[in-house]
């Protein structure tokens, strides 16, 4: 049914009513969650976009939306990023190294099974800490673990477009404020996904049709990202940590559901 709908819309006017509705809903959902939590644009948006786009077109659009809407989120924590650049670099530099390795891993490991494995980890993590009254609070420096988590995130970003999963799980267990957590996760995701966008561009995936749908989706994504940021500012630090845990659970369920279909 989904395939027939996608074929019907793609074979007719690309700006048809149905196409625009799915494009707008995905842009709104993805922008809102990025503004609220600093990640998750593609996870929510792809659920809508894959109804009317090919997987390559949907992912190519999602990467650009993640980067551009993420810049808005990074702006609100820019002072913390500049104040503690070393903390962010501990994740980011290994992540950048891991990104091309992840792309190479695709030749060895089927990404379908990798996404299932990561989805299971997210569900177990999110489910466990959703049921517990308190989340562990790690209040001492862990530079080696931070680097390892960042590196694996980069590998997963290149291999399965899941760069933010492990860093988010790890940061939710730190005693950092919501601003400090976001000051790590937001630039990490922006830069890793920007590299992914460059990789997609080098392979010729950004056709004129995809650029047109990006231009349509971008204002919607940016607007709803601002709405998400509005609610983010009203969360307490503990509520934000809880939000990350809950989103890990929901994201894992979404991934497993998609891979099972």
Candidates 64, 94, 106, 57; CA nearest to 197 is 64
Tokens linked to 59? 């992912």
Written as tens digits, the pLDDT of the chain (261 aa) is 445 445 544 444 445 788 899 999 999 999 999 999 988 887 788 878 888 888 788 888 888 999 999 999 999 999 999 999 999 999 999 999 998 888 788 778 777 888 888 889 999 999 998 888 788 889 999 999 999 999 999 988 877 778 888 999 999 999 999 999 999 999 999 999 898 888 888 888 899 989 999 999 999 999 999 999 999 999 999 999 999 999 999 989 988 988 887
pTM of the model: 0.84
Judge contact between 222 and 69, C-beta under 8 A: yes
Judge contact between 140 and 174, C-beta under 8 A: no
Number of domains in the chain: 1
Signed CA dihedral, 57, 74, 231, 141: sign only: positive
Residue 138 lies in domain: 2-260
- Quote the CA–CA distance of 74 and 96 in Å, as a whole number: 18
Judge contact between 81 and 74, C-beta under 8 A: yes
Q: Which residues contact 95 (CB under 8 A, 6 or more apart)?
A: 150, 151, 153, 154, 157, 163, 167, 188, 191, 192
């Amino acid at each position: 049914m989904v395939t027939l709908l996608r074929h019907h819309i793609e074979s007719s006017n690309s700006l048809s009513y149905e196409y625009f509705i799915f494009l707008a809903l995905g842009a709104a959902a993805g922008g809102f969650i990025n503004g609220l939590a600093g990640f998750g644009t593609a996870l929510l948006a792809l659920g809508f976009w894959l109804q009317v786009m090919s997987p390559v077109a949907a992912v190519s659009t999602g990467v650009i939306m993640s980067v551009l809407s993420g810049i808005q989120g990074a702006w609100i924590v820019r002072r913390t990023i500049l104040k503690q650049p070393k903390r962010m670099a501990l994740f980011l530099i290994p992540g950048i190294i891991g990104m091309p390795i992840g792309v190479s891993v695709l030749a060895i490991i089927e990404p379908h099974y990798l996404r299932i494995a990561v989805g299971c980890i997210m569900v177990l993590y999110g489910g466990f800490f959703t049921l517990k009254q308190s989340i562990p609070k790690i209040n001492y420096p862990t530079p080696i673990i931070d680097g390892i988590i960042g590196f694996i995130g980069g590998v997963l970003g290149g291999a399965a477009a899941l760069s933010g999963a492990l860093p988010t799980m790890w940061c939710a267990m730190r005693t950092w404020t919501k601003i400090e957590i976001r000051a790590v996760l937001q630039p990490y995701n922006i830069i890793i996904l920007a590299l992914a966008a460059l990789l997609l561009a080098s392979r010729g995936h950004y056709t004129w049709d995809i650029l047109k749908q990006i231009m349509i989706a971008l204002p919607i994504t940016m607007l709803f990202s601002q709405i998400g940021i509005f609610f983010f500012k009203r969360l307490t630090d503990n509520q934000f940590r809880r939000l990350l845990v809950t989103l890990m659970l929901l994201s894992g369920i979404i991934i497993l559901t998609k891979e099972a279909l």
